Amino acid sequence: MAEHQMNVIRVHGVRDLRLHNETIPTPSSEDERVRVRSVGICGSDLHWYAEAGIGDTPLERPIVLGHEFAGRLPGGELVAVDPAIACGGCEFCLEGNPNFCTALHFAGTVHDDGALQEYVVWPRTLLHVLPDTFSADEGSMLEPLGVAIHAVDLAHMRAGNSVAIFGSGPIGLLLIQVARAAGSGQIFATDPLPHRLDAALQYGATDVFQTDAGNARTAIWSATRERGVDVSFEAAGENDALEAAIHTCKRGGRVMVVGIPSVDQTTFSAAGVRHKGLTLKWVRRMKHTYPRAIQLVESGQVDVGSMVTHHFSLEDYEAAFDLATRREGLKVVIDV
């Protein structure tokens, strides 16, 4: 590779990833150049890869995926990178909701390249220096952990609340751990894959149910003596999971919708929501969570390191995305 050039992975279409050789970016006075070290493959990355789009947003140009990442500064400090660059001046930023920013730039989306490249230039204010005890993998996992923290915040959980989590992928497993740290009582978890249910128990679920068996919602309803749980989290991106979250939630309870569906359409029975007077909230990424995420990991209350089950080099990007699409293991990370 020529001097001042770097390897970059771009998605060009459905299951069409390509290796490029591009110029290493130069930082401005407000930015730092980060040598990327660890990039987690997220469910949203898989939407771009498998569908060439996400929700109602199609792929308009070849983009660099990756928004869960950590790297090193020129001085050697390991940093976790907040992938959301808010404008700071719009109505929503001024209200304290930068995740709703009308001019938001977000790594690995249609207009903004992400981290599957050797170097990125990023605002200095969005780089969080990590303790010496942290690995690059743990740093990259702070972004999905932030989503879980934000979801639990929105749920207004109280100590002793019962919780049901539908979908035990990485976000679901982090929701289990954050709910436990927040003082939850019973924590029910579901998933069709047995290895993810085993992980759910490892990370703090009190009861797990395989959704392919068809009786998860009935079992949870019975386990709560037909009262229902205080808070349900839909973390699968499936209508069936949302229906189950609604069915198992108690009257006056809260349903948090975290998953992203493959098709830009979410449906559920209105009667159940109306009769129970449920509150439904859609979770939009996260906000101001990195310091808390670092503290939760550093204190041992949340274990993100063991969730990384597979590593691939940047050059093995096709194998990494194929494995992640098959939902093997838990979190797939690309070492850049």
Instruction: Give yes or no for a contact between 82 and 68, defined as CB atoms under 8 angstroms apart.
Output: no
CA distance 74 to 330: 31
Angle at 256 between CA 252 and CA 257, to 5 degrees: 135
CB 167 within 8 A of CB 192: no
Query: In angstroms, what CA-CA distances link 216 with 61, 191, 193, 247?
Result: 41, 9, 13, 11
User: pLDDT tens digits, residue range 221-280?
Assistant: 999 999 999 999 999 999 999 999 999 999 999 999 999 988 888 889 899 899 999 999
Instruction: Quickly state the pLDDT bin for 90 (edges 50, 70, 90).
Output: very high
Report the alpha-carbon distance of residue 178 to residue 152 in Å, rounded.
7
Cβ-count burial 169-196 (b if 16+ within 10 Å, e if not): bbbbbbbbbbbbbbebebbbbbbbeeeb
What integer is the mean pLDDT of 92-116? Answer: 96
Reported as a pLDDT band with limits 50, 70 and 90, residue 218 is: very high
Give the pLDDT confidence score for residue 297 in this predicted structure. Answer: 98
The amino acid sitting at 213 is: A
**Lowest-confidence region among 49-63, 135-149, 170-184:** 49-63
pLDDT at 213 over 80: no
Decide yes or no: CATH 3.90.180.10 for domain 5-141+304-335.
yes
- For the chain, percent of residues with pLDDT exceeding 90: 92
Residue written as token pair 């070849």: 62
pLDDT of 211 strictly over 80: yes
Residue pLDDT, tens place only, 20-76 = 999 999 999 999 999 999 999 999 999 999 999 998 899 999 999 999 999 999 999
Q: What integer best gives the mean pLDDT of the chain?
A: 96
pLDDT of residue 56: 86
Q: How many CB atoms lie within 10 A of CB 168?
A: 29
Q: DSSP class of residue 14?
A: T
**Helix, strand or coil for residue 191?**
strand
Query: In CATH, what number does 148-282 get?
Result: 3.40.50.720
Read off the pLDDT band of 301 (50, 70, 90). very high
The pLDDT of residue 2: 56
Rounded to two decimals, what is the model's pTM? 0.96
Q: Tell me what the mean pLDDT of segment 86-105 comes to.
A: 97
Q: Under DSSP, is residue 320 helix (H, G, I), strand (E, B) or coil?
A: helix
Strands of the chain, DSSP E: 5-13, 16-23, 31-40, 53-54, 57-58, 68-72, 78-81, 84-85, 105-106, 119-123, 127-129, 163-166, 187-191, 207-210, 229-234, 249-257, 279-282, 308-313, 331-335
Backbone angles phi, psi at 117, to 5 degrees: -155, 160
Q: What does the domain layout of the chain look like in residue ranges?
A: 5-141+304-335, 148-282
Kindly state the average pLDDT of the residues 74-100: 97
Ramachandran sector of residue 294 (left: φ over 0; alpha: ψ -120 to 50; beta: rest): alpha
pLDDT at 271: 93
Q: Identify the three-state secondary structure at position 223.
A: helix
CA end-to-end distance (rounded Å), the chain: 15
Rounded Cα–Cα distance for residues 184 and 224 (Å): 14
Say how far apart CA 13 and CA 53 lie, in whole Å. Answer: 9
Can you tell me the mean pLDDT for 150-177?
97
pLDDT of the residue at 132:
97
Predicted confidence (pLDDT) at residue 3 exceeds the cutoff of 90:
no
| pLDDT value of position 204 | 98
